[in-house]
Chain A
């Protein structure tokens, strides 16, 4: 059945329209969770606000579990779902650069758009920075093309890399996440915090 677009159940234009509605859901949830506030996001890294960890991991686990069950019931063909290809080198270096950007700017791209939508000027400036950063990357592309293509491993999943079943991996991930939630609740009580 799914993915609807690949199996030609819906048209290209419907797909784009649905993208808009998915975006509305995405933006609404991010803003409701408080991701439009940079101090709330940055709080993650000082222990006073672990909202990011809770929302992020609950979201990833819910989606991963949902996909596995959908695939179990035959509702979605996972072979047709996009699996981000792994390029070890560029993913790690890119992740480090993004991590620096996160602690300096207090947003990630998705959340900065949410912040900008409700009038946060710092978020708007961050969005401006995104444009500049991506433009620099595009213009200097030949300089880092080799790094960009380094460490290619294909569309590999983590369960395959660890040689365990996807179900078992998700179960372990859930155990880790639940453990982290408890630590997070403890940390939030220990470090002073206020709502922004």
Chain B
């Protein structure tokens, strides 16, 4: 085939050429997964970005370290009331560099919320389009949260059993998270509470393991 010297010269030239190309390519295009508008539409249609209040309440009570609540309302509203452990990233400057580390990460499960879902969903679309993963939207926003977790409506007696279990859970969760007083016995409902019925796909960090470990 080639003599030894020839192969080395050809290989060196080829490597330098390829190296030049890869060095010249702007770095951001080497990030493979900014979403196209088509992909965005698919995600929005499937609605997988929504997380149910029950699931968030469950994670809050269990102090799940993966949960990171993000309040996208204004600082004033945030100061008035916010969910436990939430951080304030106002929608107005969500694209500022100071939030990149929080929003663009693949360890925690970020749950965005606002009063309704309009602002939180807008925030989610913006950062999702940048390719950031692991960001979710609290279904129904704070209004729905107060309705379901803080003041759950007791189910009608004809409802199936899991409705009661869910009611117990919400009642207990609401108490644990600072709503009105509830009899202590009912708090035990949390342990027997069913997992939220709507399965939200939670992507935890899924990097392959490797090295010699």
Contacts and interface: CB of A to CB of B under 8 A. Distances in A.
A135 B173 CA distance: 49
Nearest to A66: B18
Nearest to A58: B11
* Residue picked from A68, A69, A174, most chain B C-beta under 10 Å: A174
B23 A170 contact: yes
B15 A79 contact: no
Interface bracket on B: 20 to 34
Interface stretch (A21-29, A121-129, A161-169): A161-169
Contacts of B33: 74, 77
Given A170-B19, A181-B8, A71 B32 contact: yes
B207 A82 contact: yes
B209 interface: yes
B126 to A, nearest CB: 20
Given A61-B15, A165-B27, A178-B15, A84 B22 contact: no
Chain A interface, DSSP helix/strand/loop, else mixed: helix
A175 B15 CA distance: 9
B25 A82 contact: no
26 contacts: A3-B208, A6-B207, A58-B11, A65-B18, A65-B19, A68-B22, A69-B18, A71-B30, A72-B22, A72-B29, A72-B30, A74-B32, A79-B106, A80-B206, A81-B208, A82-B207, A82-B209, A82-B210, A165-B23, A167-B27, A168-B23, A174-B15, A174-B18, A178-B15, A181-B8, A185-B5
